[in-house]
């Protein structure tokens, strides 16, 4: 995919899938800004790697759950890059517990980051995208937002909310030639996943029809496609990257 000259924001781009997305966009030619909350060293390493590709890159410390910080980041990136063409909402957390043991704080933290965080950034870029009459919004959800997951009522609800948000904003921004899509990964072999007990990885693998778990690059490749001109007639869709884990 050719993203030469495009400017992108990736939330949660300092670690995990977000890093692969940020690097993938840069490899395709885009300049990339990413936010981080705690992982400053990792964020700066991603920025350096993108810079070595000859692209512009910047990291902004911003809590996605903060409406004001999201607005400020978008304004900063628009000034630094001159425009914004692509928003990838990726930042997310999990605070797992069965519903009868879940604390209010666990529910609120996940909703504030995983769902409100997406609203905050989409709200911030929407006026810019409407004015310039183009833009790509790509939301990272999860197959667990489509099927539910034991012990993850907060996480699954937040990811299901992202799907509803995606479809609604696709309707609202369509006349401005802005596409809005969601990517739903299954179990992906991030560093965090590798820390899980092998029995959980084996169980997830057994659910797939390909007999293997995905890599972060599998998600990044789809994001690149959806960010490109080749996906110009695709909007309001939820596309799984799960090796058939949820069919």
Residue 236's closest CA among 130, 106, 139, 132?
139
Which residue among 36, 118, 121, 155 is the active-site one? 155
In order, the DSSP letters of 180-219 are EEEEEE-SB--HHHHTS-HHHHHHHHHH-SSSS-B-HHHH
H/E stretch holding 232: none
Decide: 91 and 65 in contact? Cβ < 8 Å.
Answer: no
DSSP state of 231: G
Kindly provide the residue ranges of all beta strands, DSSP E only, lying in 54-198, ordered along the sequence: 57-61, 86-89, 135-140, 178-185
Residue 155 among the catalytic residues:
yes
Residue 14 tokens, joined: 């300092």
Q: Which residues are catalytic?
A: 155
């Amino acid at each position: 995919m050719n993203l030469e000259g495009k400017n992108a924001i990736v939330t949660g781009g300092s670690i995990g899938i977000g890093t692969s997305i940020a690097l993938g966009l840069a490899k395709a030619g885009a300049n990339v800004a990413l936010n981080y909350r705690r992982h400053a060293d990792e964020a700066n390493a991603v920025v350096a790697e993108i810079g070595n590709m000859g692209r512009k890159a910047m990291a902004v410390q911003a809590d996605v759950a903060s409406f004001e910080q999201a607005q400020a980041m978008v304004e900063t990136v628009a000034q630094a890059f001159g425009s914004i063409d692509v928003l990838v909402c990726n930042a997310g957390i999990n605070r797992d517990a069965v519903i009868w043991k879940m604390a209010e704080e666990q529910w609120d933290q996940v909703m504030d980051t995983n769902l409100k965080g997406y609203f905050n950034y989409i709200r911030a870029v929407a006026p810019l995208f409407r004015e310039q009459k183009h833009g790509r919004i790509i939301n990272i959800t999860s197959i667990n937002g489509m099927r539910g997951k034991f012990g993850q009522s907060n996480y699954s609800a937040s990811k299901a909310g992202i799907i509803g948000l995606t479809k609604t904003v696709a309707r609202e921004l369509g006349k401005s030639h802005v596409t809005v899509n969601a990517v739903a990964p299954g179990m992906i072999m991030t560093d965090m996943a590798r820390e899980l007990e092998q029995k959980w990885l084996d169980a997830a693998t057994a659910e797939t029809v390909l007999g293997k778990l995905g890599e972060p690059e599998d998600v990044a490749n789809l994001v690149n496609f959806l960010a490109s001109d080749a996906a110009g007639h695709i909007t309001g869709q939820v596309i799984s990257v799960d090796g058939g884990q949820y069919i």
